[in-house]
Amino acid sequence: MALGSIRARVRARSALLTGGSIAAALAAAPAWAQDSVPAPAEETAQEDQIVVTAIRETIQSSIQSKRDSDAIVDSVSSKEIGELPGQSVGEVIATITGASIDRANYGPTEVSIRGLGSGLSMTTLNKREATNGSGDRAVNFGQFPSELFNAIKIYKTQQADLIEGGVAGLIELETRKPLDYKRRNIQAEIKGNLNPYQDRIAGQSPFGYRATISYIDQFNAGDLGKIGISLGYQRNDVNDPVERFYTSSTWFTCNATTNPVSTGNCTEVTRPQGNAGTPYFHASNSYLYRQMITSDLRNAVFGALQWQPSPTIDVNLDLQYSRRQYSETRNDFGTAEGRYSLSDVVIGDNHQLLSAKGVATLQTLSGLFQRDEKYLGFGGNVEWKPSDRLTVTADFGYSHTKRVDITRTVRLRTDPLDIYGVKTAINNQRIPYSVDFSKSFLPVFSFDPRFDPNNYNLFSDDTQLTRSQDGREDEIYSGRLDASYKLDGFIERIDIGGRWARRQFFGYSNDVVTLSAPLDKDREVNLACRTPFPERNFFADSPNKQTISYATFDVLCQFRGYLGTEDPGPSADLRSVDNPDVTEETLAGYAMATYSGSLAGIPVRGNFGVRGVHTQVTAVGLRAPLKIIPRAGGNVSLVADTTGFTETRITSGTMRWLPSINAIFDVAPKMRIRTGIYRAMSRPAPSALGAGRRITLEEDAGQGFPTVDEAIGTIVASGSPRLKPVMSWNADLAFEYYANKDTLFAATGYYKRFTGGKVPISINETFVIDGQDYLVPVSQTTNSNDTTDLYGVEFTASNRFSWLPHPLDGLGVKLSYNYAWSNYKTQDIRYGDIIDSATGDLIPGLIPAAGLSGYSKHVFSAQAFYEIGPISLQGIYRYRSRYYQAFTSDNTQLRYVEGNNTFDVNMSYKINKQADIRFQALNLFNEPRVEYMPVVGSTRNVEYYGPQYFLSFRLRLR
């Protein structure tokens, strides 16, 4: 059994046992304290006299919000600005039952609900869709300060008036309306940041800061009515250190019977060969270490204006702007030929490579990655009440994200000669090495002792300078009109409405490559641009404790030395056959009835309705003739002839009906049963709907492919415009017990039946290559007609130990656990099951299918808090089991993320009503991110971030 699997199971078992023990103690607690606990009425009376603040107030507000909702909802909310428990919006969401986050070095990037990935959920900001720069439909939580929001809800069941798109659920982010706050509030906070990993890097400061200021006020303008304003600004200047090991993103199945291979890369095994019994293993083209120096600067402005000219009219305007400038100085080192001349291969149970010997060209890559991302969102809402019964609401919104990534990289490789033209000790560009993955997820590399990776003189060949620019632009215009009419009787209210939205997504990638240079120029630049290895104890926290160092260079110095400029700029023409250009128009309408009555003497309330959604997708792609470019050793590459672009336009439309019914039964004053039955849909990511074609230029940079046929075999679609939404029928049943304001016990069972899943399909397309027509089977993604199921249960327990004697009565906990099981299948684009479009036959693959993207069987979180006087302490533990995570375009190989557990601590001291001090510690376990590809156990990526610490001072003036 793989060590990663053992590690995940042990942690899961420990987390579940811990959670079960605490939950049992909570359940038994009232019995232990029966004699000392006052009557419920007395307890309530006493609690009403207590001023509740901080953590307890947040939990109380969240419990009350859940209790009042007409659907199955979990939330976190606070009456005060900036009280939500997290450094970022993603971390706040992760404290909600059933929610889990996907971490990167700069914080949470995606949110999964009930173990289902972000692609199956919908996030709205003030009830509107928001754009991002990733190409999917998730909100980029890093763009928004957590101080912007005072409430976050997750709708686990759907209702007709909610925006469609949430098969897993809908995340609703709410900013506070200034008139609702009812008092002036001026707040400023300065937060210092310490990153110990950054302190390992020579010449770098481990400190950063985050400064936030906000202002809320209300004015009585006489005959003009009431006016409220809210303004805020935040500047975030921190570093996000990371230590990384990674491989290339394309993996091959190597024929194990031809081991060793003495003349080149391993022979690839086809689906028919593998299914016939040919032994094989999975190998990557390259294996590399990356040391990084990072900086992260974000400026955000947010504001709102509320105007009530009369008791019947409420006008709201809101604005959010954010700009993030992020950079990474990269120093990479590793093998360039991971499949070359492998011997003594040991293969794991999942066909993963456990250990091997080989010879490979080694390389060092110096790089600078820079990201500039801007977000602008604004909207307006007018609510009019012409009578006591009728309310009409009109809303418009705009959201725009523009992301530009620029990467400059210089590659140097080993050679038989050093930079002075002298033969090296090995006298070969390829260096003997061994690699061992059998002991942990991070491999141990050993090189021929005659080779020293810290010797700058040995990197003297195959110079390549690459300037890459990737841009993405996402824009949404939306408008909606809603009307609500109150009735007498069983049906209390009728709601009808419509929504229109137009979303445009465009992306491009542009590479400018300069190859080779004379030896005297290589020597000149090599000598001028050397830098000491920047980091001490690099990878010292890894399981094998193997610290690493190697030769590094200043990439901007290298660009100046070779090209005479630090930035040669992009190509004059950014068009490419790979570019996605997608327009999506949505027209939706709904009718919903809210009811209240009784059934067999039990009060019941809820809603039922239907939502109709029409979606029209138009994808524009470019096609171009291909040219054959000779490479070294008789190899070839395929390059698009950019002088002959033709436009291809593909349209696709769908109409979907989404009925829903929710019912809440008040079976006792403190007990409720909720149920929901509904149909839901989740659209593909905008980037997955592109009409582009991705052409791989070469297996190894500068080397090309042995034949034209092999080069053709790598052409895949970069999107599938005819993809339809994933549909699901859903049923939920929840039991909730509200013992008091601080205590909640809830259990929910749920079921989902999916249709419209995704499966690869091979479609023949004609490509003109050097004037000759070739029929090329292009791998794409289509919808499956199969149905799949998901079953799940989730539990929530929240309690303050008020039955304990003082001062222990300030203790409290909140536990949440979600278990899900599904038979949904996602196939690997290269080696999974595939449909032959000509015959319709299913060709079995060589790689087991993955599940839903983001699907984790186990998600658990535990919060323990203690409040006494001005002191608040909180610990938050989160666990998530292994899950498959798709790339945004879908047409890529399978990627798995190993299960992880994290522990964060929050502390605060309230100096007085106006000031407090806070301390936060994140990732105290120093949990790494571990990825596998294309099967579990085959390491693709490992990242260590280290813990992070924050100390802040906050001042409020009212």
pLDDT value of residue 888: 62
- Mean of the per-residue pLDDT values of the chain: 86
> If pLDDT is split at 50, 70 and 90, which confidence band does 18 have?
very low
Nearest to 742 by CA among 73, 181, 92, 29: 29
760-811 per-position pLDDT tens digit? 777 888 888 888 888 887 877 788 788 889 999 999 999 999 889 999 989 9
Residue 730: closest CA among 773, 779, 681 = 681
Closest of 654, 674, 650, 652 to residue 663, by C-alpha: 674
pLDDT higher than 50, residue 32: no
Highest mean pLDDT among 146-155, 180-189, 307-316, 459-468: 307-316
User: Looking at residue 87, what is its pLDDT?
Assistant: 63
Q: Which long-range contacts (CB under 8 A, 24 or more apart) does 515-518 make?
A: 515/462, 515/463, 515/464, 515/702, 516/462, 516/463, 516/464, 517/463, 517/562
pLDDT digits (tens, 9 = 90+) for 159-190: 999 999 888 889 888 888 899 888 898 999 99
Q: Please, which pLDDT band fits residue 633 given cuts at 50, 70 and 90?
A: low
**With pLDDT > 70 as the criterion, what percentage of the chain qualifies?**
90
> So what's the pLDDT on residue 887?
76
pLDDT score of 458 more than 90: yes
Q: Provide the residue range defining the domain that includes 50.
A: 3-957
From the list 96, 197, 138, the residue with the least C-alpha distance to 541 is: 197
Read off the CATH number of the domain in which 72 is found. 2.40.170.20
Report the distance separating Cα 546 and Cα 16, nearest Å: 33
Is the model's pTM score more than 0.95?
no
Q: What is the pLDDT of residue 483?
A: 98
CA angle 583, 584, 587 (to 5 degrees): 145
Are the C-beta atoms of residues 732 and 156 closer than 8 Å to each other? Answer: yes
Is 80 exceeded by the pLDDT of residue 712? no
pLDDT above 70 for 891: no
How many domains does the chain contain in total?
1
At 20, the pLDDT band (50, 70, 90 cuts) reads: very low
What's residue 889's pLDDT? 57
What's the pLDDT at 80?
54
Q: What is the mean pLDDT of residues 517-528?
A: 92
- The whole-number pLDDT of residue 1 equals 39
pLDDT above 90 as % of the chain: 57
**Confidence band (pLDDT; 50, 70, 90) for 263?**
low
- The DSSP element (H or E) to which 397 belongs, if any, is strand 390-414
CA distance 290 to 365: 9
Using 50, 70 and 90 to split pLDDT, how confident is the model at 711? Answer: confident
Would you state the pLDDT for residue 137?
85
Please tell me which residue, 108 or 51, carries the higher pLDDT value.
Answer: 108
Q: How far apart are CA 269 and CA 281, in angstroms?
A: 9
The b-or-e profile of 790-803 (16+ CB within 10 A means b, else e) is: bebebbbbbbbbbb
Upper half-sphere CA count for residue 423 (Cβ side, 13 Å) = 4
